[in-house]
Amino acid sequence: DEWGIAGAREVYRTLALPTNAYIEALTYTRDRACAPRDMSAQAVNEYKSYLDYLINALS
């Protein structure tokens, strides 16, 4: 996990791509997840925790 995130961060830095757009998109996706419309409550909680992890790693 850390290796992949570090690699993505390095690519973004090398190409001078701002991570703000990715963070905003992940935040929007996290905030829009809904149970039971999208998935079960447990699945939504896990999904949001993974998105939080990515958001924090890219911040």
12-49 per-position pLDDT tens digit: 889 988 888 889 999 999 999 988 888 999 999 999 99
Q: What pTM value is reported for the model?
A: 0.75
Q: What is the pLDDT of residue 30?
A: 94
Give me the domain span that covers residue 6. Answer: 2-58
Sign of CA dihedral 47, 53, 2, 4: positive
Instruction: Please say if the pLDDT value at position 1 is more than 80.
Output: no
Q: How many domains does the chain have?
A: 1
**Rg for the chain, CA atoms, rounded:** 13
How distant, in Å, are the alpha carbons of 20, 21, 47, 55 from that of 38? 26, 24, 11, 21
